[in-house]
Structure 1
Amino acid sequence: MCGVCMLSLGFLRVVKFPPTPLKTSKEVRVKMQAGSSNEMWEGWNAISNQVYNNPKVTALMTSRAVQYLNGHPVLALAVMTFCATAVVPVSLFVFFAVVTLVMGVGAFLLFEGFLLFMGTLSLLCILSGVAFFSLVASAFVAAFYMVTSNVLNYYYPHLNKVAKEHEKSDMDEMTQNTIQ
């Protein structure tokens, strides 16, 4: 009797199945070989018929090179062996070329991004310096103007009076011209 342990509702219980009659290993092997062999052969025939009925395959099979290789099986084996062994190095080379191309493009993009970042950073620094210089220069010019005008007013007060009288006379003339 065989038994299977199952966990149900937190309790362990043993479920027993009725024994099945066992076949001898020879009976099983013969049945598997007979069934599998026929099914496998039918599947192989279906696949090969599907491949050979493809128009591209029939065009290849009727080419002169394939006809020549059909007549010379040793040479066909040599060509097939060469093709089979050449697949690995060629595929590795193509993989290396694609990876190199992708890495090169990626590195180029990263390098260009780095250069643009550095250019932007240097432009920001230069423009900040120009803005700071313009503020300092305008403050200096404004301070120089204020100091110069105060010094001139202090040492030459009559210049200020002359300018005020001149302005007053100009205003009087304009007023008289507008009245007339």
Structure 2
Amino acid sequence: MQSSSRVQQLYGRWTALLNRLQEDPKVAQVMNSRIGQYLSSHPFVALSVMLFSAMAALPFGLFLSFALVTLIMAAVGFVFFEAFLLFVGGVTLLCVLSGIGVFSVVVAVFINVVYTTSSSLLSCYNTRQAERSQSEEKDGGDDTSAETQ
């Protein structure tokens, strides 16, 4: 007897819950549509749709979570990868520019050394040539003057 009264209490709660659910304005709006009327007249199809929706919610939610996490990770990975590429490019540019600077300084020093050395050598050579010409003119000028006398 006690179990039948529990079943009746459970049935009463279930009926009250369904009545409250049907009185909800959103549910009433769906139930007044063609789909709601069709599902109301075909309870097996309604149960199938409800079970499919309930069972598909978890895989669909997992897929959406996976897609969202993948999208976020791809965006974050893209940002980090771009930052890494920019860092590598910047370091490479810095190294190349430093190498060009060092090369320019070495070439400039080499050219200055060659210029200074060659100008000093040419200056010495010109000075010696001038001294030789002057000494030859003195020696040669005396010889020509002695021959003419």
TM-score (norm 2): 0.68
Q: CA offset at residue 138 of structure 1?
A: 0.7
Which of 99, 107, 110 lines up with 1:137 in the alignment? 107
CA displacement at 1:93 relative to structure 2: 0.6
How big is the shift at 1:90? Answer: 0.4
Judging by fraction of residues, say which structure has more strand.
Answer: 1
Separation in 2, partners of 1:121, 1:159: 56
Residues 30-179 of structure 1 aligned to structure 2 (within 5 Å)? 48=20, 52=23, 54=25, 56-157=26-127
SS in 2 for 1:156: helix
CA 1:159–1:127: 2 relative to 1, 3 Å: farther
Regions of 4+ moved over 6 Å? none
Alignment: residue pair count: 116
Structure 2 unmatched runs, 5+: 1-8, 131-149
Between structures 1 and 2, the one with greater helix share: 2
Q: What CA distance in whole angstroms lies between the structure 2 residues aligned with 1:134 and 1:91?
A: 63
The amino acid that maps onto 1:92 is L
**1:73 and 1:159, CA in 2 relative to 1: closer, same or farther beyond 3 A?**
farther
- C-alpha offsets along residues 25-62 of structure 1, whole Å, 9 cap, x if unaligned? xxxxxxxxxxxx9xxx8xx87xx47x8454x5443221
C-alpha displacement of 1:78:
1.2
Aligned-partner residue type, residue 137 of structure 1: V
Matches of 1:76 and 1:104, distance apart in 2 = 40
* Bigger relative contact order, structure 1 or 2 (CA pairs below 8 A, ≥6 apart): 1
Task: Provide the C-alpha distance between the structure 1 equivalents of 2:42 and 2:36, rounded to a whole number of angstroms.
Answer: 10
Q: Which runs of 5+ in 1 are unaligned?
A: 1-36, 161-180
SS state of the match for residue 40, structure 2?
helix
Residue identity (%)? 42
Please say if residues 153 and 159 of structure 1, whose CA atoms lie closer than 8 Å, have aligned partners that are also in contact: no
If the length of structure 1 is used for normalisation, what is the TM-score?
0.57
Counterpart amino acid of residue 68 in structure 1 = Y
Structure 2 residue matching 1:122: 3-state secondary structure = helix
Aligned CA distance change for structure 1 residues 159 and 71 (closer, same or farther; 3 Å): farther
Alpha-carbon spacing, 1:75–1:63, altered in 2? closer, same or farther (3 Å): same
Name the CA distance, whole Å, in 1 between partners of 2:61 and 2:129: 95
Whole-Å Cα distance in 2 between the matches of residues 124 and 144 of structure 1?
30
Counterpart residue type for residue 130 of structure 1: I
